[in-house]
Amino acid sequence: MAPIDRTQRSTSPRSRALAIVLAPVMLLMSLPPGSLLAQDASPAPSDAAAVATPLPQGFDQKMVKRVGQVIAGVHPVRGLPAAPDVAYRVIDPETFLAELEALFLEEYPESHIEAEDDAFTRLGLLGPDDDLAELILGIYDSQVLAYYDPRTTTFSLIGPIDKIGALESIVVAHEYGHALQDAAWGLEAMRIAELDRSDAILAQQALIEGDATAVMYDWAARELDLADLLRVSAVSLTQQDQKKLRRMPMILQRQLEFPYIDGFAFVTALRGRGDWAAVDDAWAAQPVSSEQILHPELYPGEEPVEIVLPDVAAELGPGWVTSYQQTMGEMQIGVWVADGKKRLSLFPVLPGQLPNAEAAAGWGGDRLVSLDGPDGAWAVIWQTDWDTKVDQQEFTRAARQAMQDLAGAHAVSSADVAGGLSSPVLVLVADSDETLRTLEGVLGS
């Protein structure tokens, strides 16, 4: 609910409004526009010698000068014009958390969060005692360093900060990278706002965060020496931070890290085709699925199949309502078929496969609907489509394994309740055998 930079709203990580930035050397954060930012920060100076008057909130003249030096070095690295009128400030963690909670409540209706919590619990992605809202808000109490707000063209550093050292300079480079994106393409105008498009939102976030992370690394390689880089690495992710991340449900871990880690790998692959010009082209024709991020060779050619499900709630009868709809995509399906197992990697900041990841590859498209009925009845209908019959068979086996420990009743088949799919797999989960039989009868599966 998926690192920091306030680049857009997205859910699922959440995809929509929140994202923990697991950039390889630090945690940044990605929030969407709409947070309650103070707008009294002074614009950043256009050259290193200039000093803003009055000084930005939390800055002295020496700090302002250093920020100006960093900013002046970032846009030549990215090859974009300097971004005008970018303000900045330092805020304390309490202020940040208050703003974050206000934004969260604004962005996510309580009914949506509860429905997503229910749907993820029914699929086994969350435990029965997990509280999704608490989990999302709880991950930010110590790990966020900064964020950019395209609504106010402001970036905020989370204090206390008494100097702009190597770590703070890298953070500024990342956030100013977002300001360059915003000036060039308009982050608020382009953002995907629909809460039921989490896979597309993840893909968009991956481009945004992957670009800014690549800029940050390029700038650091040019401007910082080895000693500075080693010091940054030593303080960027504490043992306590790592333990906290490992305790999170895997779906939230992947939603949080995906835009930064996998996004950086995607942007790096694009640059192999034509450096930053190839990345600029991707802003004009953005990736549309996590599959394209995970497999850059499929971008831009392979697009997902659109799946439209019938109004099952109406067919089930009085008392049934559709509470949640989503397109999960390859990345989140990969978490589900991993069935709680974690990847082993000596390099946690690099992309890595979860167990059974091959069963999520070959994804063609999906649509998930969660329904609530009378007397506590519920059901989940998840229609997927796959590129080949082999992919279809691999996912079917993995789905059966992933559902072994689910509460309630469940079934998997090759039924196509959407119509016109080439290699369909239908996953059904319900509160009881009776509900499952009723559901299968209504769907004709």
Question: Looking at residue 229, what is its pLDDT?
Answer: 86
- Give the mean model confidence (pLDDT) for residues 160-189: 96
Q: Residue for token digits 């802003």?
A: 283
Q: Which long-range contacts (CB under 8 A, 24 or more apart) does 296-305 make?
A: 296/265, 296/266, 296/269, 296/270, 297/269, 299/266, 299/270, 304/199, 304/329, 304/363, 304/364, 304/365, 305/364, 305/365, 305/385, 305/421, 305/422
- Give the mean model confidence (pLDDT) for residues 3-27: 33
Q: Is 299 left (phi over 0), alpha (psi -120 to 50) or beta?
A: beta
Residue 46's pLDDT band (cuts 50, 70, 90): very low
Question: Looking at residue 54, what is its pLDDT?
Answer: 85
Question: Looking at residue 232, what is its pLDDT?
Answer: 84
Question: Looking at residue 34, what is its pLDDT?
Answer: 27
Does the structure show a pLDDT above 70 at 50? no
Alpha-carbon distance 265 to 210, whole Å? 7
The token pair at 246 is: 């490992």
**Intra-chain end-to-end CA distance of the chain, in Å:** 33
Find the range with the poorest average confidence among 43-52, 158-167, 269-278.
43-52
Does the structure show a pLDDT above 50 at 51? no
What are the tens digits of pLDDT across the range 362-371? Answer: 999 999 999 9
Beta carbons within 10 angstroms of residue 208's beta carbon: 31
| 313-341 b/e (C-beta count within 10 Å ≥ 16 → b) | beebeeebebbbbbbbbbbbbbbbbbbee
**Higher pLDDT residue, 51 or 306?**
306
Question: Looking at residue 352, what is its pLDDT?
Answer: 61
Does the structure show a pLDDT above 80 at 22? no
Q: Is 387 left (phi over 0), alpha (psi -120 to 50) or beta?
A: alpha
3-class SS string, the chain: CCCCECCCCECCCCCECCCEEEECCEEEEECCCCCCCCCCCCECCCCCCCCCCCCCCCCCHHHHHHHHHHHHHHHHHHCCCCCCCCEEEEECHHHHHHHHHHHHHHHCCHHHHHHHHHHHHHCCCCCCCCCHHHHHHHCCCCCCCEEEECCCCEEEEECCCCCCCHHHHHHHHHHHHHHHHHHHHCHHHHCCCCCCCHHHHHHHHHHHHHHHHHHHHHHHHHHCCHHHHHHHHHHHCCHHHHHHHHHCCHHHHHHHHHHHHHHHHHHHHHHHHHHHHHHHHHHHCCCCCHHHHHCHHHCCCCCCCCCCCCCHHHHHCCCCEEEEEECCHHHHHHHHHHCCCCCCCCCCCCCCCCCCHHHCCCEEEEEEEEEECHHHCEEEEEEEEECCHHHHHHHHHHHHHHCCCCCCEEEEECCCCCCCCCCEEEEEEECCHHHHHHHHHHHCC
pTM of the model: 0.88
Find the range with the poorest average confidence among 141-155, 357-371, 392-406.
141-155
Residue 247's pLDDT band (cuts 50, 70, 90): confident
Yes or no: say if 27 and 236 are a contact pair by the CB < 8 Å rule: yes
Question: Looking at residue 245, what is its pLDDT?
Answer: 73
What is the pLDDT of the chain when averaged over all its residues? 85
What are the tens digits of pLDDT across the range 186-222? Answer: 999 999 989 999 999 999 999 999 999 999 999 999 9
Beta carbons within 10 angstroms of residue 162's beta carbon: 12
The token pair at 149 is: 């707000």
Question: Looking at residue 52, what is its pLDDT?
Answer: 40
**Higher pLDDT residue, 35 or 402?**
402
- Give the mean model confidence (pLDDT) for residues 399-423: 96
Question: Looking at residue 434, what is its pLDDT?
Answer: 97
Does the structure show a pLDDT above 90 at 345? no
Question: Looking at residue 234, what is its pLDDT?
Answer: 74
Q: Is 275 left (phi over 0), alpha (psi -120 to 50) or beta?
A: left
- Give the mean model confidence (pLDDT) for residues 89-93: 94
Does the structure show a pLDDT above 90 at 414? yes
Q: What percent of the chain has pLDDT over 70?
A: 83
Residue 351's pLDDT band (cuts 50, 70, 90): low
Does the structure show a pLDDT above 60 at 128? yes
Range of 12-26, 341-355, 422-436 with top mean pLDDT: 422-436
- Give the mean model confidence (pLDDT) for residues 58-72: 96
Residue 246's pLDDT band (cuts 50, 70, 90): confident
Alpha-carbon distance 17 to 23, whole Å? 18
What are the tens digits of pLDDT across the range 282-329? Answer: 999 999 999 999 999 999 999 999 999 999 999 999 999 999 999 999
